[in-house]
Amino acid sequence: MSDGGGFVSLFWLLLILGPVLFAVTTCFAKVTLVLSALRLGISPRGLIPWSIVASLSLLVSLVIMTPTMEAMWPPLQAVWAALAEGGGARGATGVWEVARPLASGVAAPLVEFMVRHTDPEVVTALRGVGDGLVQGPGAIALAFLISELTSGLALGVMVLVPFVAVDLVVSQVLGFVGGGEQLSVHVALPAKVAVFLAAGGWTQLITSLWGGYV
């Protein structure tokens, strides 16, 4: 293998696993779930494009994860420096041998973030499955992701309830005046958008998500 083979292997490994690791070890899953609930509540037909939801979820997640990423940066620089001194010249195996002793320093802030935001009840339940579970990084990530999905669904319900209430009110009012179901759909949409904007919905939702990780 050429001198740069190790670096190339590391690059492709990060390129393939990076998005998956970001989704399961950060707040991205919860943020996406809540914003998807908002999109569904305002209009099941997709008034807010999915590309906007995905982009906003990524941006909010990066802002929330900034302190953790800043803590990971110095040990990541140490790993890179060690690889530059000779790890890459020994191929993929050499890269792993050089990076492995330093990888724990890079992962430590992320593991600390996951542990801090994992529901203890989830950890207790998973530990009951088998001895030693929820001790390795993979098991910690599993407990964290379950906790994030649970809290994300709970917050998603809170987001959906006001929109359901508006739908019911509009439906009842139009029912009294003889309006049809199709008219109800067209009237409810601007009503829900107006209520959401009047309540400062975007600010309230984003600050609630962000505040949950501070």
pLDDT of residue 3: 46
* Residue-level pLDDT at 68: 92
How many separate domains does the chain show?
Answer: 1
List of residues 6+ apart from 114 with CB closer than 8 A: 25, 140, 141, 143, 144
Q: Is residue 96 part of a domain?
A: yes
Contact by Cβ (8 Å): 117, 144: yes
Global confidence as pTM:
0.81
Query: 199 in a domain, yes or no?
Result: no
Domain-located, residue 89: yes
Classify residue 17: in a domain, yes or no: yes
Chunked mean pLDDT (size 10), the chain, 214 residues = 52 74 92 94 83 94 94 78 58 56 75 92 77 66 93 94 90 74 74 92 93 89
| pLDDT value of position 77 | 75
Q: Does residue 174 belong to any structural domain of this protein? A: no
Residue 81 falls inside a structural domain: yes
Q: Tell me if 167 is assigned to some domain.
A: no
- According to the model, what pLDDT value does residue 2 have? 46
| Domain extent at residue 59 | 5-159
Are the C-beta atoms of 165 and 199 separated by less than 8 Å?
Answer: no
Sequence-ordered list of residues with C-beta below 8 angstroms from that of 198, at least 6 positions apart, any chain? none
| Predicted pLDDT at 173 | 83
Whether 15 is covered by a domain: the verdict is yes
